[in-house]
Chain A
Amino acid sequence: MFKFAIWIIFAIVIVLLPQFFSSLLSVSILNQMAIAIVFALSYNMLLGQGGMLSFGHAVYFGLGGFMAVHALLGIEDGNYSFSVTLIPLVGGLFGLLAALFIGSFSTHKAGTVFAMISLGVGELIAASSLILVSFFGGEAGVSGDRTYGPTFFGYDFAQDLQVYYLAAAWMFIATLAMYLFTQTPAGRMANAVRDNPERAEFIGYSARRVRLISFVMAGFFAGIAGGLFAVNYEILTEQNLNAVTSGNVLLMAYIGGLGFFIGPMVGAVVLTLVNSVLSHYTTLWMLYLGIMFVLTVMFLPSGLTGFLMMHRTPWHLGKIRLLIKPYIVTAIPGAVFALSLVAMVEMAHTSEAEFVFLGASFNSSGPMSWGVLVAIALASFIALRRSLPQLREAWAQANAIETGDQP
């Protein structure tokens, strides 16, 4: 019952979102999020649920997307006619076929061998896409137009907002389907094979078969994401199936948290938001993204969702308020330290004499402004270091189960 309510709330939220974020920019960000969520969830079917680390998941996203653009072109040329709402399904089916073919030889083993095959196949297809010009369009890519198909209850999908509802509907369906897949025997066996393939074989399951099923499903949903991408942007290029896109989806899933179904969704939303907001303010956003990623792997190995889920025990023990004060005491110097470093990086990078950061103005070449920033950074770092023991103690207290007094 509770789970059912969550899905209803999720549906209501995605329907209402454009009411609150109605500007053109925010609708386009919402579209990106919907696509990213489907893609990241499909990736987690491999890595999180199936234990297969893939460095070439963009292949299925890209191939699905390219096929979807060709379907759009087919509609445009009048070869056949069907609604644009079905285009993502075209992408999904093509992604499924590609995954079936590649998975037939790559899922023998998990671990390093699988990771390397996925890398090799990814590079192979990305490089071939520049050679096979008639399908991939070479450097320029292939572009189509989504408005030629028959209208869907009067909608022709000329506006981004209409595309949002299309993408959101597909995202909802795909998310629900992927969630339900985790509950099926095949989804459960994927977890079993991830944790101990040998035992799974002893019960009588073929580890390879189980992996192949996950792999094909992941390819299908990645293809759907690619199809949504094709509808949204109306163009696909080599960029959409190369290693950068594959790396991006790994980043989203990992930062969100691999161990939870909702993790990649959180990662997709957070990273899309961070990308669009940061890239608006600074040209160095990729650098910050890289730092964020490395720090997440080092300090939050279970991702953002994993970090939140760590608070379940204190929550159930009713001791979550013990953590509030130490968190604030640590977060303030932490934020100041991070911001002062960012200010120094930006100041070193800027070419203008006057450097404005958070309303404060600095002379970018003056030793004075460097001195101030270094002093702030040092002071906040010392404060941060000093606050850590208290935080650790509070954490231990909040997780301690009291025994003795109770009858």
Chain B
Amino acid sequence: MFEVMIFATLNGLVTGLLLFMLASGLTLIFSMMGVLNFAHASFYMLGAYFAYSISLYLGFWPALIVAPVLVGVLGGLIERYGLRRVHKSGHVAELIFTFGLAFLIEEAVQFFWGRATKDYRSPDILDFPLFTLFGQNFPAYKAFMIFISIAIFIALYFVLTRTRIGIIIQAAITHPHTVANLGHNVPLIFMAVFGVGTGLAGLAGVIAGPVLTTFPGMAMVLGSIVFVIVVIGGLGSLAGALVASLLIGLLQSYAIASDLGMPDLLNWLGVSFERDHPLNDIWRLTLPQIAPILPYLLLVLVLIFRPSGLFGKRES
């Protein structure tokens, strides 16, 4: 049990930090524009695909730099020529625009790279077990993922709180008009933040692609979970996003690793049931089975009891 817990914690940490790289950009973009970007996970997918294509020619390490930059530039362009145009039609139109964008990017990826899973691999240099515990290997690549995610978090925190640019961004989020009156180009700041946010999602894609497989549905798989995190953490809260990411990552990881279920609960309660009972499916549920729906359950509960999220201040 103990070794299972340790590995579940490590895997949960990897997933959680990866989710945070997506969630941090999403929540920054939300606090700026007041709109949740449905296409955020699509940029993550683009990151993985760009990195795959680049790594075919230049290898993994150049891809690690170039692919997120490309994704970020693309994101900035979409903000400048798409989202800004839709902005005047209101929030619903913006939300629907990003929704359509997510749809479009998925189709475009299928057009350029095909429907099949791509053989995008982690670099050979990281292809060794970092340590062996209770006979189980922990791959070095996962440690690398943790390292990158933490480095990004520290860098983001540093830039946002300690540099002049970060202070201007923070001011532009809360008081855009005042910042504009002080002579800063607020639309440019918005575009840059959108670009950096999508670039971060792209970076997450680059490092997650080899582990979570690179296929056209990868945005769908992660997209709604990232949404869940941002909402649970509280819209616009960076700290909330971190806590919620780790929470969801660990929760899912523990649920998958455990072998407990309703039968155990019923046994413990001393209740027995018949095999052909109509609710048989429910009585036989196990935790690994319901692991995929746990985040959504948590989301609905949080929204009912605390609509502003764990760390959130504003509600809509």
Contact = CB atoms under 8 A, between A and B. Distances in A.
Contact of A116 (B92, B93, B97, B227): B227
A112 interface: yes
B96 interface: yes
A112 B99 contact: no
Given A116-B299, A134-B280, A290 B107 contact: yes
B154 to A, nearest CB: 29
A133 interface: yes
A119 B227 contact: yes
A247 B307 CA distance: 24
| Contact-size category for A | 35 or more
B6 to A, nearest CB: 28
Contacts of B171: none
Given A109-B316, A116-B227, A127-B293, A294 B282 contact: no
A360 interface: no
Given A290-B103, A297-B100, A123 B293 contact: yes
A243 B224 contact: yes
B150 to A, nearest CB: 28
Contacts of A123: 224, 293, 296
Contacts of A119: 224, 227
A131 interface: yes
B229 to A, nearest CB: 11
Looking at A47, A123, A243, A289, which has the most chain B CB atoms within 10 Å of its CB? Answer: A123
Given A113-B315, A290-B107, A120 B95 contact: no
Give the dominant DSSP class at B's interface.
Answer: helix
Nearest to A302: B89
A301 B93 contact: yes
A286 B107 contact: yes
Contacts of B92: 47, 53
Nearest to A135: B281
Interface in B207-260: 220, 224, 227-228, 231, 235
B305 to A, nearest CB: 10
Interface in B254-294: 278, 280-282, 285, 289-290, 292-293
B103 A293 contact: yes
A119 to B, nearest CB: 6
A108 B307 contact: yes
A120 B235 contact: no
Looking at B85, B99, B100, which has the most chain A CB atoms within 10 Å of its CB? Answer: B100
Interface in B75-94: 82, 85-86, 89, 91-93
A254 interface: yes
A105 interface: yes
Nearest to A292: B100
Interface string B22-47: 00000000000000100000000000
B303 A124 contact: no
A109 B224 contact: no
Contacts of A108: 307
Contact of A131 (B86, B93, B281): B281
A6 interface: no
Looking at B101, B110, B228, B281, which has the most chain A CB atoms within 10 Å of its CB? Answer: B281
A130 to B, nearest CB: 9
Looking at A108, A112, A131, A293, which has the most chain B CB atoms within 10 Å of its CB? Answer: A112
Nearest to B298: A120
B35 to A, nearest CB: 9
Interface string A104-127: 010011011101110111011001
B227 A298 contact: no
A134 B316 contact: no
B111 interface: yes
A120 B107 contact: no
Contacts of B159: none
A133 B281 contact: yes
Contact of A297 (B86, B231, B304): B86
Contacts of B188: none
B260 to A, nearest CB: 16
Contacts of A53: 92, 95-96
B103 A120 contact: no
B311 to A, nearest CB: 16
B104 A120 contact: no
Given A291-B104, A297-B96, A105 B289 contact: no
B220 to A, nearest CB: 8
B300 interface: yes
A8 B85 CA distance: 41
A293 B100 contact: yes
Contacts of B231: 116
B126 interface: no
B303 A294 contact: no
A117 B227 CA distance: 11
B180 interface: no
Contacts of B285: 131
Nearest to A116: B231
A132 B282 contact: yes
Q: Which 3 A-B pairs have CB atoms at the shortest separation, nearest pair first?
A: A290-B104, A301-B89, A120-B299
Given A121-B300, A349-B111, 11 more contacts: A47-B92, A113-B315, A119-B224, A120-B299, A124-B296, A132-B282, A134-B281, A243-B224, A287-B110, A289-B103, A298-B86
21 contacts: A47-B92, A109-B307, A109-B316, A111-B91, A111-B316, A116-B231, A117-B300, A120-B299, A120-B300, A123-B224, A124-B296, A134-B281, A247-B99, A284-B107, A287-B108, A290-B107, A290-B108, A291-B104, A293-B103, A297-B86, A297-B89
